[in-house]
């Protein structure tokens, strides 16, 4: 059998006709060549199935979209299976998409329905903090972000700054693109937050993912950058392990004040979704020359940036006009574009030309120097953080540098300033004591030194002698090149101090360092030399351990009288600084023949001496005319030369030429 709906074509053998439009139809049935019957059929129009339209993808902080169905005229409803709440009206406007995730919406028409899905993706905002300023009992911080939704844990937002943060209180700043879609940076309260510090202008951007590590961009004007993790590389901290809380510190040292600012970076939780985490970390702005400013940036792989102003080169955007806001657009394939606005820094001034000059070194006893600042007309001041007091006038003349150490001075021209350091070095003076004389109820001691600042504990200075020292009272003599830069030798009162004794004319010089031991030079005309430590070697006492109080004794026996003179040597405190401790120890003078005198010396291995008179033989200077003062110049590499003046001995007489015959052989 065959079937036809037009009575002509009987090609259908199943009796089923497909894809017919709505209407009235007659069906003919044919068996062989005969048409056996007809039947009437009515096909009604099928209802139109609604289409909810294309699925949508939006990126936080966008929280709404519009769905467009086909045909219009149906109703919309939120699917009951959604995890997060939202709303949709019958115009297809969706709102309240505040959380990342999938949202389904049902469109119904003529008893039929269709579903559209909106996927909300978290793209965390960028955030940069910096320019930390102390303001009395509070401090403030600058910020900028790709979102206006900024929440500080303390303080108040004022323009592009968070102000009134109590000193000692750390700050946490949250930039939000929606619930769970946030970037956080922290500021540790600056230390110390007072006038002694000039802080680095540090900026740090939020982290960007780099595989199993993350990086941040930083920018700073002065100071040293350190971090507790990762590696400081150019203007970035790189290779910070995911999960590590990064602290970036900028340290600026002013005198003895160590001025730190810290910005801390919580780690990204995950780097799996490249679109969730920001593609750029930005730091700055920092004032530049020619009325411009600059910022630094660090990009993830595959990201690129464009800007409305400035020149992009080597992770830096420079030459941005000071009267313009920089807009950075970040593009990454498959992710939504991001825009960050960076306001120009405030109070930018032309580049500072203030120059305090080169650092100076002053060697005690010199206690003054002159600093030269440019351009002229600036103001000089000593930093309050200096460990020791000093003075500087408007001409840059520094005085009262009386103690060894570092002194810092600021030269300020307008709002620009520069700091210079004066290092005062202690070079302890030489000192020699000797020629102890009994004079009735007192005794006297000769001295000479490389300094004129001599202070005896008793007695009175008269020329090159200390006189009127009471018998039985020990003497301590201090030679000073400044506070704490002193050499001391002691004399133990001679015994017995009467006419029964002829004392040795003993001289002892101050100690010189020899590694872990020290040595002194001595010279004596008669008697036997002994010491309580070290070894008597030639005209020196050597190998005295550091820390040992040395007593050098010259003993002359006259009949039954044992006549002792003692000169004592306090040990050097340390032998670490070769230039602080003297390089030579001198003893003498002792009268010689032919109207001459001599002195002994011992010196450090790398020291040398030159003299104005006499001859240097081994460790002795001989043939010095008794009418001349000996000037010894001590030269030591890397140290300041020293000069020691040795006055000739008084009352020198020609050595006796008479042949003295013992009394037992004299003819009575």
pLDDT digits (tens, 9 = 90+) for 36-75: 566 666 655 566 789 999 999 888 778 899 999 999 999 9
DSSP lists the bridge partners of residue 118 as 56, 103
Q: Report the distance separating Cα 523 and Cα 511, nearest Å.
A: 14
Nearest to 325 by CA among 156, 160, 566: 160
Output the pLDDT for position 1: 76
Q: What Cα–Cα distance (Å) separates residue 146 from each residue in 127, 165, 175, 205, 539?
A: 7, 23, 8, 12, 82
Q: Pick the residue with more confidence: 331 or 496?
A: 331
**In the structure encoding, which two tokens stand for residue 387, read together?**
């460990």
**C-alpha atoms less than 13 angstroms from C-alpha of 287 in its C-beta half-sphere:** 14
Instruction: State the CB neighbour count (10 A cutoff) for residue 180.
Output: 13
Sheet containing 93-95, strands listed edge to edge, beginning at the edge strand earlier in sequence: 65-66, 93-95, 87-88
Q: Report the distance separating Cα 460 and Cα 203, nearest Å.
A: 65
Q: Report the distance separating Cα 533 and Cα 554, nearest Å.
A: 14
Span 611-620, average pLDDT: 91
- Are 571 and 546 in contact by the 8 Å Cβ rule? The answer is yes
Residue 273 C-alpha from the chain's centroid: 37
Output the pLDDT for position 658: 41
**Among residues of the chain, what percentage have pLDDT more than 70?**
92
Task: Please determine, for residue 603, whether its predicted confidence score (pLDDT) is greater than 70.
Answer: yes
Nearest to 328 by CA among 293, 292, 290, 297: 297
**In the structure encoding, which two tokens stand for residue 148, read together?**
């206006």
pLDDT tens-digit readout, 448-480: 888 889 999 999 999 999 999 999 999 999 999
Q: Pick the residue with more confidence: 454 or 121?
A: 454
Task: Please determine, for residue 257, whether its predicted confidence score (pLDDT) is greater than 90.
Answer: no
Span 369-393, average pLDDT: 91
Output the pLDDT for position 655: 45
If pLDDT is split at 50, 70 and 90, which confidence band does 662 have?
very low
> What burial class does residue 499 get, using C-beta atoms within 10 Å of its C-beta: 0-12 exposed, 13-18 middle, 19+ buried?
exposed
Residue 616 C-alpha from the chain's centroid: 51
Average pLDDT, the chain: 86
DSSP state of 70: B
pLDDT tens-digit readout, 284-302: 788 877 788 888 888 887 8
Task: Please determine, for residue 510, whether its predicted confidence score (pLDDT) is greater than 60.
Answer: yes
Task: Please determine, for residue 156, whether its predicted confidence score (pLDDT) is greater than 80.
Answer: yes
Q: Report the distance separating Cα 259 and Cα 256, nearest Å.
A: 10
Q: Report the distance separating Cα 434 and Cα 325, nearest Å.
A: 80
């Amino acid at each position: 059998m065959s079937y036809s709906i037009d009575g002509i074509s009987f090609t259908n053998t199943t009796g089923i006709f497909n894809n017919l439009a709505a209407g009235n139809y007659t069906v003919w049935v044919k068996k062989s060549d005969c048409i056996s019957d007809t039947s009437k059929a009515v096909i009604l129009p099928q209802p139109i199935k609604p289409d909810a339209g294309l699925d949508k993808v939006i990126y936080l902080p966008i929280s709404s979209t519009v769905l467009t169905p086909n045909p219009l005229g149906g109703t919309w409803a939120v699917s009951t299976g959604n995890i997060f709440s939202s709303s949709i009206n019958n115009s297809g406007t969706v709102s309240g998409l505040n959380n990342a995730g999938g949202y389904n919406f049902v469109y119904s028409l003529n008893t039929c329905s269709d579903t559209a899905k909106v996927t909300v993706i978290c793209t965390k905002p960028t955030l940069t903090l910096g320019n930390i300023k102390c303001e009395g009992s509070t401090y403030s911080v600058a910020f900028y972000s790709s979102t206006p939704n900024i929440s500080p844990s303390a303080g108040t937002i004022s323009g592009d700054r968070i102000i009134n943060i109590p000193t000692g209180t750390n700050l946490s700043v949250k930039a939000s693109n929606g619930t769970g879609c946030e970037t956080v940076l922290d500021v540790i309260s600056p230390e110390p937050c007072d006038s002694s510090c000039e802080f680095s202008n540090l900026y740090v951007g939020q982290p960007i993912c780099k595989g199993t590590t993350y990086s941040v961009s930083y920018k700073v004007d002065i100071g040293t950058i350190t971090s507790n993790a990762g590696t400081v590389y150019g203007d970035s901290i790189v290779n910070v392990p995911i999960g590590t809380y990064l602290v970036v510190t900028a340290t600026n040292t002013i005198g003895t004040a160590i001025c730190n600012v810290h910005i801390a970076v919580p780690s990204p939780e995950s780097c799996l979704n490249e679109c969730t985490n920001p593609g750029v970390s930005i730091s700055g702005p920092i004032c530049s020359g020619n009325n411009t400013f600059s910022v630094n940036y660090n990009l993830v792989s595959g990201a690129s940036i464009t800007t409305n102003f400035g020149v992009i080169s080597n992770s830096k955007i420079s030459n941005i006009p000071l009267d313009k806001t920089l807009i950075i657009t970040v593009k990454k394939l498959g992710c939504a574009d991001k825009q960050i606005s960076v306001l120009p820094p405030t109070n930018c001034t032309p580049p500072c030309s203030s120059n305090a000059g080169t650092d100076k070194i002053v060697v005690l006893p010199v206690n003054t120097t002159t600093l030269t600042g440019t351009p002229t007309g600036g103001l000089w001041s000593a930093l309050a953080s200096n460990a020791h007091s000093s003075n500087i006038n408007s001409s840059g003349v520094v005085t009262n540098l009386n103690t060894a150490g570092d002194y810092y001075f600021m030269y300020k021209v307008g709002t620009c300033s520069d700091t210079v350091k004066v290092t005062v070095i202690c070079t302890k003076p030489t000192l020699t004591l000797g020629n102890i004389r009994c004079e009735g109820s007192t005794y006297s001691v000769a001295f000479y030194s490389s300094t004129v600042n001599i202070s005896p504990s008793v007695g009175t200075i008269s020329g090159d002698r200390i006189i009127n020292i009471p018998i039985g009272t020990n003497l301590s003599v201090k030679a000073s090149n400044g506070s704490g830069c002193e050499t001391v030798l002691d004399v133990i009162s001679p015994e017995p101090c009467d006419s029964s004794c002829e004392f040795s004319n003993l001289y002892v010089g101050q100690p010189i360092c020899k590694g872990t031991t020290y040595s002194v030079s001595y010279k004596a005309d008669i008697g036997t030399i002994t010491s309580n430590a070290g070894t008597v070697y030639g005209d020196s006492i050597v190998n005295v351990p550091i820390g040992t109080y040395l007593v050098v004794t010259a003993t002359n026996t006259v009949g039954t009288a044992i006549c002792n003179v003692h000169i004592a040597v306090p040990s050097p405190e340390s032998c670490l600084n070769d230039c602080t401790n003297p390089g030579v120890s001198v003893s003498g003078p002792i009268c010689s023949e032919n109207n001459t005198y001599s002195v002994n010396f011992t010196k450090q291995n790398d020291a040398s001496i030159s003299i104005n008179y006499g001859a240097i033989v081994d460790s002795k200077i001989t043939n010095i005319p008794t009418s001349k003062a000996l000037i010894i110049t001590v030269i030591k590499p890397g140290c300041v030369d020293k000069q020691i003046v040795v006055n000739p001995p008084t009352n020198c007489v020609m050595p006796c030429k008479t042949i003295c015959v013992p009394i037992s052989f004299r003819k009575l």
